Amino acid sequence: MKKPFYILGLLLVTLGVLVFILSRHGKPVESSAEVLTVHCAAALQKPVREIARQYEMEYGTRIRLNFAGSGVLASQIKVSGGDLYIPADSSYIGPMKAEGLVLESTDLARLRAVVVVRKGNPRNIRSMDDLARRGVRISVGEPTAAIGSFVRRVLMESGDWERISPQILVTKPTVNNVVEDVATGAVDAGLAWDAVASQFKDVELVRVPVFEDIPRCATAGILRGAEVPAALHFMRYLAATGRGRDVFEKMGFTVPAVADSWTDAPVLTLFAGSMLRPAIEDRLRLFEQREGCRIKTVFDGCGTLLARMNENDAGAMPSAYFPCDSTFLSDVKDRFGPGMIITSNEIVMLVPKGNPRGLKKLDDLSKIGLRVGLADAGKSALGKLTMDMMMRYGCWDELHDSGNVVVLASKGEELANQMQSGALDAALIYLSNAMASPGMMADCKIIRLRQPDAIAHQPFVVAHDTPYPQMVLRLRDFITHDDARSRFEQLGFKFIKREWTDE
C-alpha cells in the first residue's frame, strides 16, 4: 500500500521542481521551435532587426539575433550552432556548404563597396589616387569582416592596396564601425558597403571603378541542426516581396530581381513525366514537410501534359515542369526559364524471362506472331522517341505492317504491367519502368538496345510566371540532391545535372 503513495509523492516533487523553474524565468520554457537563433552580419543589422521585429509580431516566434563580422560569425557557428547564418557576402556560404554546415541558401540583397567621406567631402577624395595621398587617414574593416576581406582581395589584385596601406589609420571589426569613424571625423575616409553608409546622414559615398562591377550578395543560409521548417519559414520571410525584401529596399539595399511572393503556406504545381514518379515522389513529400508548402503533382505521359499546357486555361500551367525528354519541352520553352538536364534514361526491350522468342534487336519485333507493346507517340515522350528511333533505323513501317503491335499505352509503366501479366511478348519501355517493379526480374528480361540514341534526357524547368521561383529552385535541388541520387540510380537513371539548351 505504501508504493502508490511513494509514486504520488515523487510526482508531486517533480511537479514542484517544474513550477519552480517556470516561476524563476517568469514564463514557460521555450521550445526550440519557438526561438530561432540568427547569426547576422553587422552590415545588415538595421533591416534584419526590423524584419525580425515584424516577424515576431506576425507569428509569435522569437528571433534571437547575434550580430558580428561575417568571418567571426562563421567561427562562432562551428562552436555554438544556430538556425540561420546571414553573411554580407555569399562567398562565406560556399565553404560552409562544403563543410556541411549550411544546408541551403537564398539571396537577400546586393552590396557594393565604396569610399566613404564626411559630408561635403572636405578632403576632396574622389579616387584611389586621392586615398593614397600623404596625410589622408583611412579606416578599413578587419579581415574577419566581409568588407575587410573583400576590399583587401580586390585592391591587392589591382595593385592599390600597397599604395593606400600607409594611410590606413585604423581597422575595425564591422563595416558599421568604419562608417562611424568617418561620421565622427576620426578618419578622412573609409571603405564600406554602399547600403550601410547611406544610412548615416553625416557621410557621402564616392563610387570608384575598381569596385563598381563586382557587387556582393548578402545571403541567408539554413544551418545544419536548425529547426528546419521554422528556419525555412523565416528565411522565406526575409527574402519575400511583401515582407523582408520590401524592408531591404526601403533601407537603400539593392534587392535581387527575382524573389518569391509571400504566402504563409505556398502551393506549387509540378508536371512530371510518369517515369519519374518512383524516383521523386517520396522526396516531394519530404520537401512539403520541410518547407511547409503543398505540391500538387501531376504525373502523366508527356504528350498528355503538353496538351494540358497548350489548352491555355488558368489551371494548366505548372510552377515547374520535369518531362521525360527534352523534346517535350521545346513547344512550351517560352513559358519557362533556363533549365537543367537532371538525368538520362535508356529505352530498352523487355521480354519474358528466358527470352523464348530470341529477340535481340528492333528488327526482331516484326517476327510473325509476336505480341508487341509500344507507347503512344501522341501521348508520351517514350512513344515519340520510340517511333522516331525506329523510323531512323528503317524498321517502323515493317513493324506497323506486321500487325504485331497489340498495345499502344500512354505510359511505360502500363507496358511493364502488361509484360508482367504475360499479355505481351515484347515491349519497348524505359529502363526505369522495368526497374521500378521489384518483382519484374522474376518474370522478365531486359534487352539493352545497341542504338546510341535509345536514350531520353530529363530537364527540369521553372515557369516564368510562378510566384515562387526561389522555392521551385530549392525543390529542384532537393529532389536531385546527392541524398536522392541513389534512388535514381537504383531505377536505372544516370545523373547528368548540366544546363539545358534548346539544341
Q: What is the pLDDT of residues 68-118, one digit of tens each?
A: 999 999 999 999 999 999 999 999 999 999 999 999 999 999 999 999 999
Neighbours of 352 (CB within 10 A): 17
Q: Report the percent of the chain where pLDDT is more than 70.
A: 92
Report the pLDDT value the prediction gives residue 239, as an integer from 0 to 100: 97
Report the pLDDT value the prediction gives residue 498, as an integer from 0 to 100: 86
Mean pLDDT over all residues of the chain? Answer: 91
Neighbours of 21 (CB within 10 A): 11
Q: Count Cβ atoms within 10 A of the Cβ of residue 439 and give its class: 0-12 exposed, 13-18 middle, 19 or more buried.
A: exposed
Report the pLDDT value the prediction gives residue 503, as an integer from 0 to 100: 55
Helix 469-479 crosses helix 228-239 at what angle (to 10 degrees)? Answer: 140
Residue ranges, the chain, pLDDT below 70: 1-33, 312-315, 502-503
Helix 228-239 crosses helix 45-59 at what angle (to 10 degrees)? Answer: 120
**400: which 3 cell numbers?**
506497323
Report the pLDDT value the prediction gives residue 151, as an integer from 0 to 100: 98
The helix (H) or strand (E) run that includes residue 296 is strand 294-300
Q: Quickly tell me which residue has 582581395 as its cell.
A: 153
Q: What are phi and psi of 177, to 5 degrees?
A: -65, -35
Q: Residue 6 is which amino acid?
A: Y
**181: which 3 cell numbers?**
569613424
CB-based contact 389:348 (threshold 8 Å): no
- The backbone region for 377, taken as left when phi is positive above 0, alpha when psi lies in -120 to 50, beta otherwise, is alpha
In eight-state DSSP terms, residue 261 is B
Report the half-sphere exposure of 296 (CA within 13 A, side-chain side): 10
Report the pLDDT value the prediction gives residue 18, as an integer from 0 to 100: 40
What's the rounded Cα separation, in Å, for the pair 302 and 276?
A: 11
Report the pLDDT value the prediction gives residue 439, as an integer from 0 to 100: 87
Q: What are phi and psi of 374, to 5 degrees?
A: -130, 160
Identify any residues that bridge with 460 across adjacent strands, giving them in sequence order: 340
Nearest to 127 by CA among 115, 117, 140: 115
Write the CB contacts of 473 (distance below 8 Å, at least 6 apart in sequence): 462
Report the half-sphere exposure of 99 (CA within 13 A, side-chain side): 13
Neighbours of 75 (CB within 10 A): 12
Q: To the nearest 10°, the Cα dihedral for 454, 486, 416, 455?
A: -10
Strands, E, within 78-154: which ranges? 84-86, 102-111, 113-118, 138-141
**246: which 3 cell numbers?**
520590401
Neighbours of 314 (CB within 10 A): 6
**50: which 3 cell numbers?**
526590423
Neighbours of 495 (CB within 10 A): 14
Strands, E, within 147-240: which ranges? 168-172, 189-193, 203-206, 216-223
Report the pLDDT value the prediction gives residue 380, as an integer from 0 to 100: 92
Tell me the whole-structure pTM to 2 decimals: 0.84
Report the pLDDT value the prediction gives residue 17, as an integer from 0 to 100: 35
Cα separations in angstroms, 395 against 307, 390, 451: 28, 5, 13
CB-based contact 473:340 (threshold 8 Å): no
Q: Residue 355 is which amino acid?
A: N
Strand, helix or coil for residue 298: strand
Cα separations in angstroms, 108 against 52, 257, 298, 450: 14, 10, 32, 50
Q: Residue 459 is which amino acid?
A: P
What's the rounded Cα separation, in Å, for the pair 259 and 249?
A: 12
What's the rounded Cα separation, in Å, for the pair 53 and 46?
A: 11
The helix (H) or strand (E) run that includes residue 297 is strand 294-300
pLDDT in tens, 166-206: 999 999 999 999 999 999 999 999 999 999 999 999 999 99
Write the CB contacts of 428 (distance below 8 Å, at least 6 apart in sequence): 347, 348, 349, 350, 365, 373, 374, 375, 382, 386, 415
Nearest to 451 by CA among 347, 298, 341: 347
